[in-house]
Structure 1
Amino acid sequence: MMFLLIVAAAVAAAPPVLELTADPRPLHPYAELGASGVEVDGDLLIRNSGNAAWELVELALDVRDPRGRLIQRKELNQNGTSPSINLVTERIVAAGKSLLIFNPLARFAADVHPARLDYRLTFQGPGEKRLVLPVSMTPRAEPVRRFAFPLKGRTLVWDGHDFASHHRRWNYVHPVLAGAGFASIAARYSMDLILVDAEGRRSTGNEDVNANWTSFGAPVRSVGPGRVVALREDQADDRNFDVATVAIPNAMYGNYVVIAHDDGSFSMYGHVQQGSVVPKIGARVRTGEAIARVGASGSALFPHLHFQRMDGPNDRSEGVPTRFTGIARPGGGAFANGFVDSGDMVIAD
């Protein structure tokens, strides 16, 4: 009888199983010092194992320095006629589903050094019930090495190094992407690059014709020394992608080249022209060496170069930020921090 009582007491004392859980993705996002301050590109993954939907109604953040001291406190809430919590556009976690919250409260002044980010997420569920989830991130220093720019001439960064980029908002909990094996954002720091003329024109004539684009057929250069570890060059430049093949690593980029660098990162050059890849698997390449030509293969809206760095050789990896050297703005202005953002015009030799 005593044994049964002890077991019953132990069961009664067990903590309740939470319907909602929260995890940082990645666990150690990069803290990048840019022209406008520090940016931490990390997301929060919320999972709902219950049978009812929950809505995020408040998101609070304590920022701590390397010594653990509280240096800043931020909050999104329901106050006012146009509540700040509305800045988080997707806030409902359906029963049995997951939700990604992208880049929450992730910008800081240049003199703020966020060593730990302690979030408190308040959800409201059935019967006005509330649940508060704590979750922490520990940012890490970003790589300091700079790389050469992959295109020569005047380039428009159609989509670049900033939170608004569609690449950064890769919703891998979407059923199609989750079913294809995605659980990270390899393109988190990627960019789409288009060559333009001095007036910013990207093409002449009918844009349905690839040859009318300034970019089409332009040389693609390796951003640094390394070894070619993956490539493909058999896909037509027809701007066509079969979504059914998304489970194949790197398939969405059509033709591509992947180079392993000595710092442990991998650079990816996507949508390159059919049959244009120069080096073979295993070949060593130099900084600035021509490795392919700009094309329109795979999931390409138009001829352009998709470039990214990753911590692995394919799009199931995590993204790595890239600072460039040897680039300038039209008129000679410098990119002091080496980052290029969506909308930037870049001149590279």
Structure 2
Amino acid sequence: MTTTRTELVESVLRSASGGWRRVTEVVERWGTDAVAAVLVDEILFRSEPAADCATATVGLELTHGSARHTTILDVTERSRPARTGAATADADVRLECSIADLVLELYRSDTGRGPDMRVTRFLPGEGHLSSDTERLHRIARAADAVVSGCTSHSPGLATLALRHDSDRCSSLQLSAPHFERHFRALRGQEVRLLELGIGGYERPDQGGGSLRMWKHFFPRGQIYGVDVFDKSPLDEDRITTLRGRQDDREFLDRLCRDHGPFDVVIDDGSHAAGDVLTAFEHLYPRLRPGGWYVIEDLSASSWARHDGDAVPGDSIAAALALVNALRERMGRGLRADGGSPDLAGSLAGLNLHHNIAFLEKGAGVAGALPQWVSRRPFWNGVTPQVHPAR
């Protein structure tokens, strides 16, 4: 994805916080067609597969003042809507919505109402005069499949994992409630989420299901994934993949400098004890206050060398050994500027569940980044120091 496209997407995301006036400024800067194209891609990503519907073409017309952008979509049963090259006049149904209304609905917290979507055309030349009521209903359900993507509301994580072919479907049946509870306060914000481990092994176009799941779960989120293999074919709006190793200190520093700070870091990478510790000592200090650092598959690594009480396969013992190892590492002084990030001083909470640990970074600790710091990248390789007022 080009830098210009990334800037456009971020501008649209941020405009939702400023209301109609800010959205109007963004549309006038980038143009109706460019902003509408971003919105259509987002709608197609979020839309539900059509159920019990007739094959139909749906014209989606997005407006801004007198300007209009029309996209024709194909809808078939059991599939999500997709773009087609059909002419506008061929659409069975035409839907119309203002760009500003759609931006505010897609990228703000769930309003529960949906956008102001209007049906301006229905089966031209036939419409409600048709005696085949079953066909009319099936055409209407095809239009509903498009409308389903025009909202910030989304299903639970377990459902999203199935929809986006995440390789974590089985584990999420147990952990989804924990993720949803801990991440609830962040869901409507412009979060930056980093996940170590994308899946699919060496196949460039395979994996990425959990990245798409998080993109859907966080409607305003920017999602970053790291893997030892090239996964660039999986890049799309709001999803960026990077190739690197979680034990490569220079790569991790560059990652934070270019794309941080992060609100959520999820380590689902190699699961090797040394790699987990290396990633933590470089990424946790760059985690925003109030953010979460999640370590998955605790029992996959043996922590016996870090704590004599750790028992392979015992996730609780492994988590406790992990915390002891982290405290030992963090106490050695990890920053080049002489600072010593204190895990005990910045850790607001540690939540242990089956095979997974959630570490919450405190929002009001001495030396931590204040919450008013911009979420845009600003790192220059050195963790900023914030000194308490005297």
Task: Give TM-score, length-normalised by structure 2.
Answer: 0.28
More strand by share: 1
Greater length-normalized contact order (CA 8 Å, ≥ 6 residues apart): 1
More helix by share: 2
